[in-house]
Structure 1
Amino acid sequence: MITALPDTHPLATGRTADSALVRAYSGDRPEKTPVWFMRQAGRSLPEYRELRVGTRMLDACLDPAMASEITLQPVRRHGVDAAIFFSDIVIPLKLAGVAVDIVPGTGPVLEHPVRTAADVAALPALDPESLAPIAEAVAITVAELGNTPLIGFAGAPFTLAAYLVEGGPSKDHIAARGLMHADPEAWDALMTWCAEVTGVFLRAQVLAGASAAQLFDSWAGGLSLADYTSRVAPASRQALDPVRNLGAGNRTVPLVHFGVGTGELLAAMRDVGVDTVGVDWRIPLDEASRRLGGTVPVQGNIDPALLSAPWPVLEAHFRDVLQRGTAAPAHVLNLGHGVPPDTNPDVLTRIVEFVAS
C-alpha cells in the first residue's frame, strides 16, 4: 500500500513525476538517457570552494542555506537531470550525538570507536527533531529546482558501522568484520542502530521533497557474498523501509542502491528491495544487467579516471557505457564513483551536452 506524500511534494504535484530520471528509475526508458554525477556538488567546482572558505564540512552540511546552494551549483553549471542532496555519510551519526568530525586529508574520525556490546548499547537514539536543518535545506532546494528532481542521500548501515568500529577510514575494515564474527549479537545490534538512523535520515529528506533516494555503501565491496547476505543485507532493507512505500498516485519514490567494488553483490543489493542498482566502473553495464537478471534499471558507470583523458578517449568510453546500458530496462548515466576533486568542470558539462544532443 502506498503512503501518500504531502500534497506539495514534487511527485504529488507532478513537477518531477514525468522527469527523465524518475521515469528511468521506475523502469520506463525515457527518450533521452538522464545523467547526473555522484559528488557533482563539491570540490571540483570553484564556486563550491569559494563558498566553503572558513566553514567546516559538517557545519556546511547542517547550514540549510549553504547546503542548498551547494546542492544547486552543479545543476546550474552542468544542466544535469537531477540534483543530489549535499550531505555526508556521517551526518546522521553527528545528529544522533556521536562525536565525529571530518579531518581534512583523512576523512571521518570518531572520538570513541564502537568496539564492544557496551559501546553499542551506549549509542544515543536519533531525535527526529534534530533533522530540522536537513528538512529545511531540502525544502529550500526543491523550491529552486522546479521540474528537476532531487535525490535524497544516505550511507548504508554497513558503511556507517565500519566507520563507527574502525574509528575512521580503513582499507580492509578488519575491526568491523572482526566484530561481525566475534560478537554477532553486538554486530546485529549495531547494524540495527545504523539502519534506524539511516531510515530516519532518508525519510526526512523524502518527506521534505526528494523525488528519489539513494543508499550508498562505500565499503560493502570488502565483504563476501555470504557475509553481506546474512549480516548486512537485512539492515540495508530495514534502512529503506521508512521510505519504501512513500508515493503519489500509483508511483512510489524510487530507491537506488550503490556500492563500490560490489560486482559480486549486485543481485543481493537488488534484493534488499530497490528499483535501480548503481554499478561502479569495474564491470560493464551489460554484464551487470545480466547478473541482475535483466529486470532492473542500472545506474553508472563511467570510470572517473577517464575524466582527465583526452576527449576522444572519454567520448569513446561513455559511448560504450551508453550502448551497454541498453541491456537493462532503463539506464541513468553516471560515474562508477564520485567526481575526482581535480576534475575540470567543463568536461562534465560537455558530457551532459553530448547526451542531450
Structure 2
Amino acid sequence: MSGKAWNDNFLRATKGEAVDHVPVWYMRQAGRSQPEYRKLKEKYSLFEITKQPELCAYVTKLPVDQYNNDAAILYKDIMTPLQPIGVQVEIKSGVGPVINNPIKNKADVERLGEIDPENDVSYVLDTIKILREQLTVPLISFAGAPFTLASYMIEGGPSKNYYRTKAWMHKHPETWQLLMDKLKDMTVRYVKAQIKAGAQAIQIFDSWVGALNKEQYRRFVKPVMMEICSEIKKEHVPLIIFGVGASHLLTEWNDLPVDVIGLDWRTTIAEAREMGIEKALQGNLDPSILLAPWEVIEEQVKSILDAGRKRNGYIFNLGHGVFPEVQPETLKRLTQFVHDYTKNA
C-alpha cells in the first residue's frame, strides 16, 4: 500500500457516521471516458481486460488516481459470472451484452450450472487482492441482480420494454422461480468469494427492475432479493442497491437488509426522505449534466449536496454511469468541488 493516508469516508457514510467530507465515486468511473482506457480497448475486449488481473487493477485504480475519488469500483461486468454457468454471452460494441443461447424453456434453465468462484473467476479474486495492496480508499465490487440478469438471458440482449421477460414471469411462474433460485445461488457464492478476497463493499445492480410495477416486484423479485441481501449481510460489509427508473420501488428496497439505496436522477434526495427512506442514500446527478457548462454543473451539484448532507449517511454519485463523451477533467473538477464544498460535513 502507498504512503498516503487511508481514506475511509465512504465506509463511514454507508454506516451513517460523520465524515470529513461527502465521499464521491462514480458508476462506470473505471474506463469509458479515459484516454488511457480507450487505448487499451483498441487491443483488448472488456472480458480480456478482466482476465488479466494486473491490467484490470490498473484500469480500476486509474480514476482514483486521476480524480481523487473516495472509493474504487472493480472494473468488470455484471455478465462475468454467467459464462461459467453455461450462458454464452459477449459484449458487443454499441450494443451491450448479447446472449447467444437465450432461455426458451424449462430445460434451458435446468441446464444452467453452478459457479465455483475460486476456479471459474479466479482472475476477479486475484484482481481484488492486488487492489487491496495498492489502494488507499475502499474497494467496491458488485453483482447483477437476478431480474436484470434474467432479462438479458430471456431477451437475448438489451431491451427497451422487457415484454418477453415479463410475459415469461406470468406464463411460467414455476420455471421463473427456478431461474431466480439458480441466479440467487450464483450471486451469493460469487459475492461472498469477492468479499473473502478483500472487497470492502458490494453494490447490487438491479438496473432494469424499474420495468416492473410494485405488485410484480413483490411477487416475482422481492423474495429472492430478500434472501440474497440477507446472505450477503452475514459478511458484515456495506451493501448498496441501485436501479434505473425504479423510483416507485424505493419503499420496497427500504424493506431489504441493505445499507445504502442508490437513486437515479428522477427522484430527489428530499423526495426519497419524504417517502420514509431512512437508510443512507447515494446519488444522483443526471450524467448528461456533465456535458453542460461548469456553472450549470455547480448549481445542480450544490442543490444535491445541500439536500444530501442534511443528515449523516450520504454518498455523492451520478444517477447512472459515466458515458464516453464526459471529459476526465470535468470529473476531476467535480470531485474536488464536492470535497471542498462539504469539508467537515
TM-score by length of 1: 0.91
TM-aligned CA deviation for residue 80 of structure 1:
0.1
Q: For the residues of structure 1 that align with 2:226 and 2:71, how far apart are their CA atoms?
A: 24
The aligned counterpart of 1:163 is 152
The aligned counterpart of 1:8 is none
Pairing partner for 1:281 from 265, 268, 278 = 265
Q: For the residues of structure 2 that align with 1:267 and 1:208, how far apart are their CA atoms?
A: 32
Pairing partner for 1:326 from 303, 309, 312 = 309
Three-state SS of the structure 1 residue aligned to 2:323 is coil
Alpha carbons 1:134, 1:204 under 8 Å: kept: no
Q: Deviations over 1:101-158 (max 9, x none)?
A: 0111111111111121111111111123212111101001111003x10001111111
TM-aligned CA deviation for residue 269 of structure 1:
1.5
Q: For the residues of structure 1 that align with 2:277 and 2:158, how far apart are their CA atoms?
A: 35
Q: Do residues 261 (structure 1) and 245 (structure 2) align?
A: yes
Three-state SS of the structure 2 residue aligned to 1:87 is coil
The aligned counterpart of 2:122 is 132
> 1:180-329, aligned counterparts within 5 Å?
180-246=169-235, 252-291=236-275, 293-329=276-312
Q: For the residues of structure 1 that align with 2:6 and 2:34, how far apart are their CA atoms?
A: 29
Percent identity over the alignment is: 40
Q: For the residues of structure 1 that align with 2:247 and 2:142, how far apart are their CA atoms?
A: 21
Residue 50 to residue 59, structure 1, CA distance change in 2 (3 Å): same
Three-state SS of the structure 1 residue aligned to 2:264 is coil
Q: What is the letter of the counterpart of residue 271 of structure 2?
A: E
Q: For the residues of structure 2 that align with 1:142 and 1:257, how far apart are their CA atoms?
A: 23
Q: Deviations over 1:312-338 (max 9, x none)?
A: 100000000001113454110000000
Pairing partner for 1:74 from 63, 69, 72 = 63
Q: For the residues of structure 2 that align with 1:270 and 1:71, how far apart are their CA atoms?
A: 30
Q: For the residues of structure 1 that align with 2:53 and 2:157, how far apart are their CA atoms?
A: 26
> 1:172-187, aligned counterparts within 5 Å?
172-187=161-176
The aligned counterpart of 2:135 is 145
The aligned counterpart of 2:48 is 59
Q: For the residues of structure 2 that align with 1:207 and 1:240, how far apart are their CA atoms?
A: 16
Residue 279 to residue 270, structure 1, CA distance change in 2 (3 Å): same
Across the aligned residues of Structure 1 and Structure 2, the Cα RMSD in angstroms comes to: 1.6
Q: Do residues 101 (structure 1) and 90 (structure 2) align?
A: yes
Q: For the residues of structure 2 that align with 1:59 and 1:271, how far apart are their CA atoms?
A: 38
Q: For the residues of structure 2 that align with 1:294 and 1:222, how far apart are their CA atoms?
A: 21
Bigger shift: residues 124-133 or 233-242:
233-242
Q: For the residues of structure 1 that align with 2:116 and 2:124, how far apart are their CA atoms?
A: 13
Q: For the residues of structure 1 that align with 2:8 and 2:220, how far apart are their CA atoms?
A: 36
Q: For the residues of structure 2 that align with 1:295 and 1:216, how far apart are their CA atoms?
A: 20
Alpha carbons 1:79, 1:349 under 8 Å: kept: yes
The alignment of Structure 1 onto Structure 2 pairs a total of residues equal to 336
Q: What is the letter of the counterpart of residue 130 of structure 1?
A: D
Q: Do residues 90 (structure 1) and 79 (structure 2) align?
A: yes
The aligned counterpart of 1:118 is 107
TM-aligned CA deviation for residue 61 of structure 1:
1.9
Residue 191 to residue 16, structure 1, CA distance change in 2 (3 Å): farther
Q: For the residues of structure 2 that align with 1:16 and 1:127, how far apart are their CA atoms?
A: 36
List runs of 5+ in structure 2 lacking aligned partners.
341-345
TM-aligned CA deviation for residue 53 of structure 1:
2.3
Q: For the residues of structure 1 that align with 2:206 and 2:144, how far apart are their CA atoms?
A: 6
Q: What is the letter of the counterpart of residue 215 of structure 2?
A: A
Q: Deviations over 1:215-256 (max 9, x none)?
A: 01110111101111221112222333442121xxxxx21100
Q: What is the letter of the counterpart of residue 46 of structure 1?
A: P
TM-score by length of 2: 0.94
